[in-house]
Structures are given as structure tokens and as C-alpha cells.
Amino acid sequence: MKVKVDPERCQGHTLCAMAAPDVFELSDIDGHASAVSESVSAEHEEKVREAAHSCPEQAISLF
């Protein structure tokens, strides 16, 4: 599975980083999230799905 955060949609709600702290990092500059790596390991998939569902801006795409 792969993951991407749309920087246009992200408003810095931080729920993704709370759900999957190993996968998402928050910018010190604007607080917006990005994926540490586009590829998600099997052990993190469930938490990344949770993160995608929890994002109020629907900024997280899984593919």
C-alpha cells in the first residue's frame, strides 16, 4: 500500500500523526503532514487506514 498527503487539502489537524506516528510527520513550519515514506509496511496499514478516515479534510490518499 502507498500513501500520500495532499498539501493543498491538509489543514494541520494532526489526527493522522496521532493515529500513525511512525508514518506521518508534521512540519515545524506550517504544521502540515507528510508521509515519511510513500510505501506503507504491512504492519502500519491498519493505522494508516484509520488515519485516512480520521482526517477531516480527506487529505490522505491510499493507493
Residues of this chain that bind ligand F3S (CB under 6 A): 5, 10-16, 32-33, 55, 57, 59-60
Neighbours of 24 (CB within 10 A): 24
Distance (Å, rounded) from C-alpha 25 to C-alpha 38?
12
Q: Which amino acid is at 14?
A: T
The answer to whether 33 touches 25, Cβ cutoff 8 Å, is yes
Give 11 or 45: the residue with its C-beta nearer to ligand F3S.
11
Beta carbon of residue 10, minimum distance to ligand F3S (angstroms, whole number) = 3
Beta carbon of residue 38, minimum distance to ligand F3S (angstroms, whole number) = 15
Give 30 or 41: the residue with its C-beta nearer to ligand F3S.
30
